[in-house]
Structure formats: C-alpha cells, structure tokens
Structure 1
C-alpha cells in the first residue's frame, strides 16, 4: 500500500477541469435566405450537418420554426433531426417574429401552433426548450416575465446563449460567393467565420471569468445553414483544441451561473453574460468593446 501511495504522489499533476460548450442551432430545418436555397440544397445542408454531428457525437439542440415545415420535404428533414439520438428539440415559434412586438395572445398562438407542427412530426420525442427569435423576450421586464411564465406553463425552459458569432451574416456573404462560383472567396469566408468565432469565444471566456471568477459552460448560438454544414467539423475540432468538451444543453444549464438574475431587460438579443452584470456602467463598457463581425466581412464585400 505504501509503495502504491508513493507512486501516486510521484505522478505529474493533471488538471481534470475542462471547458464545456453546448451547441445550439436556430432556424431548423433551414435558415430562411430567399433566393439562395433550392430544395436539393436544403436537403444536402441538413444531411451534411446531421452526418457530422453523428460522427463527432456532439449533443446539439435545435430550435424549430414550424412555418418552414409546412412543405412536405422540410417535414422529412425535421423528422431526420427528431430521429437522431444526438439531437434535442426546441421551439423557435411558428413564423420567427420579434416576440417583443406581439400582443401576448399572438405570442401564445405562435407557440401553440408551433407545438402542434413539431409534435406531428416528432411524435413522442420531448420538446423541452424554447428560444425567442432575435432573443427578444419582451419590451420590458414585466412583458418578459409574462411570456416566460407562459412558457413554463407549457413545459418549456427559455434558453439563453453566451456566445454567438453572427454566422447568419457570414452565411449570406458565403452564399453570394457560392452563387458566383467563386470557391476561393467562399473558402476565405469560411476560414474568416472560424477565426471570428474563436475570437468571440476568447472574448466571452474572459468576460465569464470577470463576471463569475471562473470558466462556465458556454452556450453557443448558430444556425442551420450551409456555412455551418461545410465548417461544423472544423469548428468542433478547433474548440476541442481550446480544451472544450461538447455537452448537452441540459448539462450546461445545470451550472449555477444560469440561475443568475437578469439585470438588463432590453428586448433585443445579446449575450446573457452582459445581462448578468449588475453594474450598468460596467455592462455598457463591455457592450461597447464586444466583438463585431463588420471588419471581417468588410473585406469580402469590397471584393
């Protein structure tokens, strides 16, 4: 026994702490970009994303807009997501409106009809989560409390995010390059997206340590689109190199950080790491200095 203990003490110290990230995909089964996606492109994008998620065994939560699923082809795409064991389902309203602009009865209708459409396809698979389009929860704290209270009655947990990298903006520029068959430019945009995403993670990691004094599980918000289908594996491997383990949304939100009260109730979406800062002056300073994709994208718009 003494020899065993001595051997243990002589082993090098290893840190078992690991960063965690829950990946969430909005606008399933496809991000709406009028004029860009053909039916074949929608199918290929969904299948490619699902294939990589399955191969990499990364738990992912998707947030569904039911209006997209009225088309039979899209219903089949949604069924593939629902049948995949790595996927957790969430609601993203029927038509993706700004819910802060909706009367409460209209908001309830958006949620209820979306429930019906999702469950008609997903059958008995649970749908535990809800994300507000644009992360616009309501025009003020009172309106937000009413909407979130209704979601709780329906069995939903309203989902925040801590990191996003404006992938929808990169996606539009990416699609423009692909449409012109400029594969060199498209590749450069994809690489810029990964670079900017990692820069965003770096920023919000530092902010989390300032707010909580430690790393917290991050919730990354992105979208079902071709850019992510083409660069999902690259992104996951880059995050793993930064020490991240991909975990489920449920596991990430068990961290006590996600019980922190909100101190900012503006209707438009920005990271909950800002909303969790009690001091308004400090919060504004961080918001002013937060990552913006404009410089990355300006290069491509000028070409």
Structure 2
C-alpha cells in the first residue's frame, strides 16, 4: 500500500496545475509586410474556433490603433462576442510606457478605452497589460501609472510564463512567405518544444519562490503561429496536467498579491520580480530560458 501511495500522490499533484492563457496585440500582432486582410481574418477566426472547440477561457489585450480599420473592428467584435473571452486594454499605439510622460500614458489609455468600448458595448474590460511589460522607468513612475489604471477601473496584469512567440512568429512568417512549409512546420514544432521547456523552468522557479504550484499566467500574442498551433499547445499543456482557467480565477491566488522587489522598466516574468533577494534574483535571470539556440537554426 505504501508503494501505491507513493505512485499516486505525484500524479494527483501533477493534475492540479492551472494556467490562464492571455493573448496580446488583438486583433492581430503587427508585423509590417506580412499580414494581409484575409490573413488577419483567418488568424482571428481560427483562434476563436479552437477556443470554442477546446473550451479554453482566454484574455485578449487590445491595441485600439489596430481597430481603426473597419475590418479589424469586425474582428474585435467577434472577440467581444465570444463567451470565453475576457477583454483587456493594451494601450492605443503599443508604446514603451516607461518612456512616456504620465499625461501621454493617460491619453493612450483613455483613447484606447473609448475605442474598445465603442465596439465591445456593454462587455466589461477589467484588465490592462503594459506593452513590453514596461510599467514605468522606476518605482515612483510605476506607482503613478498603476494608480491611474486603478482610477480607471483596470487591474494591471502580470505574467509568469512566456516563450518569445513573437520571435518564432517572425521566422515562421518568413518561411510561409517563401512557401517553405517544411521549415514552417519545424519552426512551429520548435515553438511548442521551447514553450514546454519554459513552463518546466518557471514551474520549478514557482516552487522555489512560493514552496508550491500557483496558477500560471501565460503570455503570447494573437498571430498566425498561435492560430496554427493553439490546439497543439493546449493539448501539450493538458498532458502536463494543466487545466485552463480564466485570468480572474488565476489572479485570485494570494501569490498575485506579492510585493514587487524589482522595478526595472522592461518586463520579465513576475516570478523574478517577486524574489526579495537581489543576488538570487540575478542568478535566476542569468539562467532563465532564452530562445536564441532554438531560433538560430532557422536564420
């Protein structure tokens, strides 16, 4: 009986993992020269079809400047109408907010808010994510921007896991443009492999920081790579024991109330920001996953 308990306990623990999937740059990631209007439409519709089929809650973060085009307004409406989708703001023009004066940041938020709500109507828009996860140039600036977001009714959203999908997306688009489908497939497979490697790393870091698993928040983008590999990614995470949950559910975990100990302007995982000891934090940052080796073979 002792041996049976030993075998079953890790499986039970493994099955309790949870992840909230978040996609930035809705209705489509901006890659100049790559996306035609039909591609944008196909990318959004393919993602939404898979979200429906797999019943995965997602949160999308919207850049209003991309929605001025009428076709993109229709795409945004489809996201807003989907019952499994939560909407969030990602600023109007996707600037580096750490380089903006506070008044300019407020304008980015206010105009974006107007555009989203004009399309989304009565659907709530509770969340905000900083482009590049750049919250401000220092702790004082970050307190000011986050304070303003609270006044506007937004919760600033962190992430714990990301896998540089935008870098894989660029070489993926280059392969598709050359009609090199074999290379595109290899890039997609490399993206999934690197994403799972990243989850493995951040799972271990989570246990070191908190002594337990917490719901992870995965950051990726609305792009063709994710449209083509969304089902593959979700099923791979499910095989690792993950249940896909809403962002609201994930952020109810008390870990997301942990103070920030690192206020650098650009965004790395909040798991690093939550480490009080600067030397330990730097050590983990030095050893964190980098996609360069995976991508080098495709350049």
TM-score of Structure 1 vs Structure 2, range by shorter chain: over 0.9
Out of 123, 139, 149, the residue aligned to residue 121 of structure 2 is 123
Stretches of structure 2 that go unaligned for 5 or more consecutive residues are 1-7
Deviations 1:236-255 (A, max 9, x none): 00000000000000000000
Note the 1:1-303 alignment, pairs <5 A. 15=12, 18-301=16-299
User: How far 1:25 moved relative to its partner?
Assistant: 0.1
Distance 1:147 1:261 in 2: 16
Distance 1:164 1:186 in 2: 21
Secondary structure of the residue that 1:89 maps to in structure 2? strand
Secondary structure of the residue that 2:21 maps to in structure 1? strand
Off by >3 Å, runs of 4+ in structure 1: none
Distance 2:49 2:115 in 1: 24
Q: RMSD value over aligned CA atoms?
A: 0.9
Distance 2:142 2:287 in 1: 27
Stretches of structure 1 that go unaligned for 5 or more consecutive residues are 1-11
Deviations 1:118-176 (A, max 9, x none): 00000000000000000000000000000000000000000000000000000000000
Distance 2:50 2:238 in 1: 15
Distance 1:117 1:156 in 2: 15
Distance 1:174 1:146 in 2: 38
User: How far 1:15 moved relative to its partner?
Assistant: 2.6
TM-score, with structure 1 as normaliser: 0.95
User: How far 1:64 moved relative to its partner?
Assistant: 0.1
Aligned length: 290
Distance 2:138 2:164 in 1: 24
Deviations 1:256-297 (A, max 9, x none): 100000000000010000000000000000000000000000
Deviations 1:181-210 (A, max 9, x none): 000000000000000000000000000000
Secondary structure of the residue that 1:220 maps to in structure 2? strand
Distance 1:133 1:144 in 2: 13
Secondary structure of the residue that 2:159 maps to in structure 1? coil
